[in-house]
Amino acid sequence: MTEPVRTLPGADRALGDFATEVGPSDPVVVVGGRTQWAVGGDPDASAREVRAPAGVVQHEPAEMIVRVRAGTSVAELDAALAEGGQTIALDPPDAERATVGGVLAVGHSGPRRLGWGPVRDSLLEARYVSAGGQLIRAGGPVVKNVSGFDLCRLLVGSLGTLGLLAEVVLRVRPRPPAAVWLRGAPDDPDRLRRALLRPSSILWDGATTWVLLEGHAADVDAEIKALGREFAPVGAPPPLPNGGRWSVAPSALQEAVMGLEPGSFVAEFGVGIVHASTPALARPAHPATATLHRRIKANFDPSGRLNPGRIVA
């Protein structure tokens, strides 16, 4: 029942080799699938390129966890999980190329975040290479853990500026037995959010609304009926504009997109992400917060050698 799907031989050696390659000095930049290469700015030209090791190390369905190396593509990971009837809340636009390490380092959640929670909540353990070239472990390989400070949360979204991810343990979930995208044009998409128990996604482009319902087939059917005839099943959600990614409080969402052409954006209801064709306005951090950011970077990477040029805040 709990047979691992597969175990790569020499697992730890690959991590050691990666640490050796990164070494203790000179600027390095870690390359994933290059699908979000520009987030945070281009790396300094002086930086040496390295790649994280790849491969699914161990999947234990009964533990609801998977151990995977950071250079593995998201598509490969999901295929391995599917064998055990499970899946994971990572759904980057280009799963064939995007890597697990890249998804975590960028830290942007996909459009199912409303139902599946943010990417950061799925990281249980990280093995990363520090600025000093050492292999460090943060967190642990169990679904619940408060042993020490939460470095995992800190690493997600840090764009490789605090450490280079080598291997991670992620929390996985059962594949929902039924899943359907619906499309309609209700007056108030927000009312719809409140009427459904746990929709996986509600997208809105100013005129049309898409809803993803997942779960037990009979429940999904009942919710479809409750939505009314106005909603009809569709094969897929709309394509997401990728000129900008705005983050706004969910209650301020409608205000934030006021004046935008319907269809020129897609907003995630209940979450607060707007996929827009124009970049988000810069949001300078509050001075006290900025000081914390600076100190964290200085404490983790005193010589500034990790992913130089990338700016997280």
Partner 1 sequence: MSDRLVTELSAALAPDRVRSRPLELTLYRRDASLLEGQPGVVCFPCTTDEVQAAVTIARRHGRSVVPRGSGTGLAGGAVPVGADGAEPVVVVTTKMDAVLEIDEGARVAWVQPGVLNLDLSRDVAHLGLHFAPDPSSQQSCSVGGNVANNSGGPHCLAYGVTSAHVLAVEVVLPDGTLALLGGLDPEPPGYDLRGAFIGSEGTMGIAVRIAVRLSPDPPAVRTILVDFASIETAAATVTGIIAAGLVPAALEMMDSRITAAVEDYVHAGFPRDAAAVLLVEVDGLPAGVEAAAQVVADVAEANGARGVRVAADEAERALLWKGRKSAFGAIARIAPDYYLHDTVVPRTRLVEVLAQVYEIAERHQLLVVNVFHAGDGNLHPLLLFDRRERGVMDRVLAAGAEMIAACVAVGGVLSGEHGIGLEKREHMGLIFSDADLDAQRRLRLAFDPDQSCNPYKVLPSGSRCGDLQSVPAGAWI
Ligand X SMILES: Cc1cc2nc3c(=O)[nH]c(=O)nc-3n(C[C@H](O)[C@H](O)[C@H](O)COP(=O)(O)OP(=O)(O)OC[C@H]3O[C@@H](n4cnc5c(N)ncnc54)[C@H](O)[C@@H]3O)c2cc1C
Tell me which residues in 43-82 interact with ligand X (CB under 6 A).
Answer: 52, 70
Rounded Cα gap, residues 90 and 173, in angstroms: 11
The string of DSSP letters for 63-131 reads GTEEEEETTSBHHHHHHHHHHTTEE-S---TTTTT-BHHHHHHH----TTHHHH--GGGGEEEEEEE-T
Q: Which of residues 230-259 bind ligand X (CB under 6 A)?
A: 240, 242, 245
The interface region with partner 1, picked from 10-18, 28-36, 204-212, 214-222 by CB under 8 A, is: 214-222
Rounded Cα gap, residues 105 and 102, in angstroms: 5
Q: Which two tokens stand for residue 130?
A: 């520090």
Rounded Cα gap, residues 152 and 136, in angstroms: 11
Task: Tell which one of 49, 147, 207, 239 touches partner 1 (CB under 8 A).
Answer: 147
Q: Which two tokens stand for residue 173?
A: 């979930």
Task: Tell which one of 72, 86, 99, 201 touches ligand X (CB under 6 A).
Answer: 99
Q: Which of residues 106-125 bind partner 1 (CB under 8 A)?
A: 107-109, 113, 117-118, 120-121
Q: Which amino acid is at 283?
A: R
Q: 90 contacts which partner out of ligand X, partner 1, none, CB within 5 to 8 A by kind? A: ligand X
Nearest to ligand X of 64, 280 (CB atom): 280
The interface region with partner 1, picked from 6-14, 93-101, 155-163, 230-238 by CB under 8 A, is: 155-163
Selection from 155, 173, 134, 9 nearest residue 70 by Cα: 155
Nearest to partner 1 of 96, 243 (CB atom): 243
User: With contact defined as beta carbons under 8 Å apart, do 129 and 19 qualify?
Assistant: yes
Is residue 271 at the binding interface for partner 1, with CB under 8 A as the rule?
yes
Q: Which amino acid is at 263?
A: G
CB of 31 to partner 1, least distance (A): 22
Rounded Cα gap, residues 145 and 147, in angstroms: 6
Task: Tell which one of 111, 139, 157, 199 touches ligand X (CB under 6 A).
Answer: 111
Residues that bind ligand X (CB under 6 A): 29-37, 39, 52, 70, 90-93, 97-99, 101-103, 105-106, 108, 110-111, 119, 159-160, 164-165, 240, 242, 245, 275, 307, 310
